[in-house]
Amino acid sequence: MESEARLLLDDAIAFCQRDGMDARLINMLASARATDLTEDALTIEAPSRFAYSYLVKQRPIIERYLEEIAFAPIALNITVPQVAGAPASRTEPVANAGAAAPVARGTAEPAAEPAKATASGANMPRHTGPMLAADAGDGHRVNVNNTISNDQFKRLIANLKSSGAAEPEPVSVHEPEPQPHEESYPAVGINAKYTFENFVFGDENKHAYQSAVRFAAFAEEPGQCTSLFIYGNSGLGKTHLLFAIKNYLAAEKPYIRVKYANSQAYIDDYMRDLGAQRGPGEPIMREYRAADVLIIDDIQNIIGRQASIEFFFQLVDEFIRENKKIVIASDRAPKKLGMDERLTSRFNSGMLCLVSEPGFEMKYAILKNYYEHTIRAVAARPVDGAGASLLDGIGMEEGHLTDDHLRHMAEISGNNIRELESFCERCAGLSYEKEQAGGELTASDIDAIADEYFDTAHKVVRVDTVQSVVEEFYHVSHEDMIGRKRSKNIAFPRHVAVYLTNTMCEMSLKAVGAAFGRDHTTVIHSLEVVESKMKEDARFNEELQQLKNVILIKS
């Protein structure tokens, strides 16, 4: 049966190549040895323990391909390569509740009646971090939402659906309705890093988060949440939300056909299909047209490429006419993309969400969550197959970051979330080195690392700079800014200046109040006014960010 097992494995590799899967997966499968094939299971031996760990994580994807090839559920058993003096080879039990039934350790014999290999949410991270409260000093606390648990997220989905239209007839996950005259749709791989559960949200991105959750919840219901357009600067979490939608649908509603592509992949696919020899009447971009949900990232990069953007307009128009769903991410709002006015109008009438740059509270929440649930979790996790692993001999420990460390990091860091995570890793690594040498991480150490990442790391913002920028923006005199007048056209700019001073200057609430001729109680009131306005008005968040940028330039 070994030759038949090899043929089945080769077919799976060919399907991976067909769908452009990760080259690491293809190479590791090609290097694996197919050792056994039964009616309902394929057993392979990984080429190394490192490859074994990787293939175990990719098992649901491989099993989908095996089922597509064999027209029946086929479980994948993966054995560890033998090492001289090591214990007997073992097969890893299938962990996914929706994947094949568990296989006993020490045997390659699969359990009877393996379930269909569909992705499930069983193995997704379940972060249950509490609400974080950033203390601004003098008793003023700002609540920031941390990640939610998987159970909380499912309740949120249920609440959304119960408050919406009547439920449609349920569609069977295991027996989807046949799609005549269409190619089988490739399985969607799941990157567990990008889920709704581990997305850190606050005032700056809560609207986008809630809209993305709503879109996913109503993805199979015609006429509801037909389009979602998320825009904002690079590195603020737009791609995370797009992948979260894709991963949720792959795990919970695999019968919905999803096509995800960033702008470059879209252009490459368009040019390849355009140049290919096709029969009469055969449409290009079949995968895109056949999808039920189309997700395109960084759409601004398509603008200016006349042929591809015209086809994109046609594709979106086709989706809207056929009552299909579409998700778009861009660095700017639809009206600033130069799109067809009809499409701009349609996106504006759908769910349109700005993701703003994070303030102190948001950055603190992101850093705290990443440190506690990623850095410390990875350091504490045992390495599978220790003794022969590629990771042996590499210190996995990470140094301790205190709450003061995290707050200082949030104060001096930039706004790109991807850079924040890397910055946090560097600080934790240096903390470990310091602790090993009998020392501890200092604020100066953090400043030095931040200087490598962020242009704003060492800028000291003065209160008079904040006041002058706000005064110029709102056309208010300095005398009125620090005076006693309370008319709305003066009071609100004063609230904004107080908020920005508290956010950007290293001053206590008492010192902030003194700079405006007021006490710390009045400062707290100003903070509450501005934070309330931020929740109500997305455009005001853009206004605040413009002011911050000007202040940093002038500092």
Is 180 within the bounds of a domain? no
**Quick check: 171 and 219 in contact, CB under 8 A?**
no
Is 14 within the bounds of a domain? yes
Is 80 within the bounds of a domain? yes
Same domain, 197 and 252: yes
Is 391 within the bounds of a domain? no
Q: Which residue has the higher pLDDT, 51 or 548?
A: 548
Question: Structure pTM?
Answer: 0.53
For residue 166, the 8-state DSSP code is P
Last residue of a domain, one of 408, 428, 453: 453
Instruction: Check residue 229 and give its pLDDT.
Output: 92
Last residue of a domain, one of 412, 430, 453: 453
Same domain, 293 and 373: no
- The whole-number average pLDDT for the span 187-204 is 69
Is 176 within the bounds of a domain? no
Same domain, 256 and 336: yes
Last residue of a domain, one of 434, 453, 472: 453
Q: Which of 269-283, 309-323, 382-396, 429-443 is predicted least confidently? A: 382-396
- For the stretch 64-114, pLDDT in tens is 899 888 888 899 999 976 644 444 444 444 433 333 333 333 333 333 333
Measured from the Cβ of residue 455, the count of other Cβ atoms closer than 10 Å reads 9
Instruction: Quote the domain boundaries for residue 349.
Output: 135-169+187-276+283-354
Same domain, 304 and 161: yes
- The whole-number average pLDDT for the span 233-247 is 89
Whether pLDDT at 173 is above 50: no
Q: What is the CATH number of the domain that holds 534?
A: 1.10.1750.10
Same domain, 372 and 295: no
* Pairing state between β 351-354 and 227-231: parallel
Same domain, 296 and 147: yes
Same domain, 153 and 227: yes
Residue 54 burial by CB count (10 A; 0-12/13-18/19+): exposed, middle or buried? middle
Is 219 within the bounds of a domain? yes
Query: Residue 142 is which amino acid?
Result: V
Mean pLDDT of all residues belonging to the chain? 75
Same domain, 215 and 364: no
Same domain, 143 and 258: yes
- The whole-number average pLDDT for the span 389-399 is 55
Q: What is the CATH number of the domain that holds 64?
A: 3.30.300.180
Whether pLDDT at 2 is above 50: yes
Is 390 within the bounds of a domain? no
- Locate 29 and state its tokens: 């499968």
- The whole-number average pLDDT for the span 225-246 is 89
Is 458 within the bounds of a domain? no
Annotate 67-86 with b (16+ C-beta within 10 A) or e (fewer): bbbbeebbbbbbbbbeeeee
Same domain, 488 and 449: no
Whether pLDDT at 304 is above 90: no
- Locate 266 and state its tokens: 């879209």
Spatial distance between the Cα atoms of 72 and 59, rounded to a whole number of angstroms: 16
The DSSP string of 81-101 is PP-TTPPPP-BPPP--TTSSP
**Quick check: 156 and 248 in contact, CB under 8 A?**
no
Same domain, 23 and 97: yes
Count of structural domains, the chain: 4
Could you give the percent of the chain with pLDDT greater than 70? 72
Same domain, 523 and 480: yes
